[in-house]
Amino acid sequence: MNRSIHPQMKKPLLAGLTLVAALCAVNAAAQATQAPAATPAPSIDQADVFLNVCQRPENLDACVMYLSGYTHGALVQTLIDKQPQRYCVPPNLGRKEQLGAILTWMKGHLQYILEPTGAVIYKALMGTFPCR
């Protein structure tokens, strides 16, 4: 079997190989000039980051949603486990006010600041809104 390339195929093949080599060179040059990858943003899953982030007005809505999801999840878990409620938020207290109370509690209990956010929110809810 003859493995030589037909003369009419050599020119397009060489052009294609040249194009591939040029694209590889451009890609390598682009990668070499790119800035190093940015450091990932800290996670609000740690209480110190949550406290810092949630004190900024531009993050208020996101933090309120986080707290809302957390409290709903904790309530569902209490119901599933058939346990009594561990905290009792007044029904007339809005989510923003709840968040404010949690942040205030956190600032007064900095010994917990390096714990997971969920654990600290739970402690804050029990400490701020005890059931009577």
Structure-derived torsion over alpha carbons of residues 49, 53, 54, 59, reported in degrees to the nearest 10: -150
Which among 70, 104, 110 has a CA at the least distance from the CA of 87?
70
Strand partners, 65: none
Handedness of CA 108, 114, 115, 119 (dihedral sign): positive
Would you state the pLDDT for residue 125? 96
**Res. 14: pLDDT tops 50:** no
Would you state the pLDDT for residue 4? 53
30 vs 40: which has the higher pLDDT: 40
Token reading at 18: 């040249």
Token reading at 124: 């804050």
Would you state the pLDDT for residue 31? 56
Asked if 128 contacts 101 with a C-beta cutoff of 8 angstroms, the reply is yes
Average pLDDT score over the chain? 81
Asked if 64 contacts 131 with a C-beta cutoff of 8 angstroms, the reply is no
Using CA atoms, how far residue 29 sits from 16, 37, 45, 129, in Å, is 20, 16, 38, 59
40-51 per-position pLDDT tens digit: 777 888 999 999
**Res. 38: pLDDT tops 80:** no
Would you state the pLDDT for residue 44? 84
Reported pTM: 0.67
Provide the pLDDT confidence category of residue 32 given band limits of 50, 70 and 90. Answer: low
